[in-house]
Amino acid sequence: MSLSTTDRINVYDDSSYWQYIHGALMLGAWCLFIPTGILIARHKHVFNGRKILGVDVWFHGHRLFQFLGIGTFVSSFTIAFLTMNKPDHRIGHAHYIIGIILMGLTGTQALSLLIKPTKNHSLRWVWNRTHRAYGILTLATAWANIYIGIYCFHKQSDENYTRWILPAAGSMFLMLMMDVLLCVFFKPIENEENFIAV
C-alpha cells in the first residue's frame, strides 16, 4: 500500500491518514497478534510442558501475543475516537457501534483473569470453557467488523478493496489452516485441562 498515491485520496488530508493507521493497526491486532495467541493456547500440548522461569512456555507466548494484540487494538480504537467524526450513514454507524461493543468484550475478557479459579479448583473447567467461547466470540466479532470497516472506507474514499481484503482474508485463512493442520498432525486434545486455560 503506497501512502504517496494522490489520484484517489491524499492520506494526509483530514482524517484519511488516521483511517489508514486505524485500519492497519486493527489488522495487526485481530488478524495477527490475537489469533496467534489463541493458537498457542489452543495447541499448548505441542510445547510438551516445557517451562521458562517456572512458567509454561505456551503461557509466555499466549500472554505476549495477547498483550501485543490488546495494546494495538486499544491504540487503534483511541485513534478512531480522537481523530474521526461519528459516521452519519447506517453501515458506518454499525461499524462504530460494533467497535464499542468489541472494546467491551475485550475488556471483559481481560478482567475475567481477576476471577480465574486456581488450577485445581472444582470450577476451573467452567472458567476455561467460558474463556474459550468468549474469546472465539470476540475474535469473530472483530473479523466481521474489519470487513465492515473496509466497506465503509471504500464507500467514503473509493479506496481499492484489494489492498485491504487480501491481507485480511489471507491472514484469517492462514490462521484457520494452521489450526486445522495442528489438529490433524499433532496429538488431539484429550481432556479439558489441555484446552485454552489461561
- The mean pLDDT of 127-152, rounded to a whole number, is 89
pTM: 0.77
Residue in 80, 190, 77 with CA at minimum distance from that of residue 142: 77
Q: Considering its fold, how many domains does the chain have in total?
A: 1
Grid cell digits, residue 122? 472444582
Position 167 in a domain: yes
pLDDT at 171 over 60: yes
- List of residues 6+ apart from 134 with CB closer than 8 A: 105, 108, 109, 112
Domain that residue 71 falls in: 16-194
Average pLDDT, the chain: 81
pLDDT at 6 over 80: no
pLDDT at 155 over 80: no
Position 2 in a domain: no
Position 50 in a domain: yes
68 burial type by CB count under 10 A (0-12 exposed, 13-18 middle, 19+ buried): middle
Position 60 in a domain: yes
Position 8 in a domain: no
Position 4 in a domain: no
DSSP string, 3-58: TT--SS--TTSTTHHHHHHHHHHHHHIIIIIHHHHHHHHHTGGGGTT-EETTEEHH
